[in-house]
Amino acid sequence: PRGCTNLCIFAYGQTGTGKTHTLEGGVSEEDRGLVPRALELLSAEVDRLNSSQSRSISGRKLSIALCVVEVYNESVRDLLCEGPLDNRLEVKLVPRRSRGQPPKAADPDHSPIALSSPGNTSSVGGAGGGLLETGLFGDTVYLPGVTVHTAESLESAHELLSKARANRAVGQNR
């Protein structure tokens, strides 16, 4: 959507290489991971912009929307869905497009994440999905049906991350 910024934090690697620790971190304040640190910075910036003069001019209130997915054994799972976790998400691709042209979805039910949608939770468009722009190749990847939660505060964002953490598939390290 216009005026929104999407951020994707992605870790990839073999089992036991420290992806979880890098992203989530440890218990202590100084040992927290990349995701909690990014959320703290993002939340502070959203608060600053919402209280600044720019909001009074535009009339818009910024918020943070989260979706958390994992790729495990070649399957993509929505870790914040309300239903069974064995529902797999299908990854869709919209090929590179001309600069300035809106994406032409391969799926007629495709819709971007509505970051300004009211309410706390939305499964985007049922068969719709969230958009992630890849800067490297210009293609667009989306996940039809991914659940998006609006975090009203830093604390609610951390609660959502705790729920996602509890829903992760955990394999045995070798």
Residue 16 annotated as lining a ligand binding site: yes
Q: Is 127 helix (H, G, I), strand (E, B) or coil?
A: coil
Query: Tokens 């590179």 identify what position?
Result: 96
Residue 19 annotated as lining a ligand binding site: yes
Residue 18 annotated as lining a ligand binding site: yes
Residue 140 annotated as lining a ligand binding site: no
22: exposed, middle or buried (Cβ count in 10 Å: 0-12, 13-18, 19+): middle
If residue 64 lies in a helix (H) or strand (E), which one and from where to where?
strand 64-66
Q: Which pair of structure tokens corresponds to residue 113?
A: 């994440």
107: exposed, middle or buried (Cβ count in 10 Å: 0-12, 13-18, 19+): middle
If residue 164 lies in a helix (H) or strand (E), which one and from where to where?
helix 154-167
Annotated binding site for ATP: 13-20
Per the annotation, binding residues are 13-20
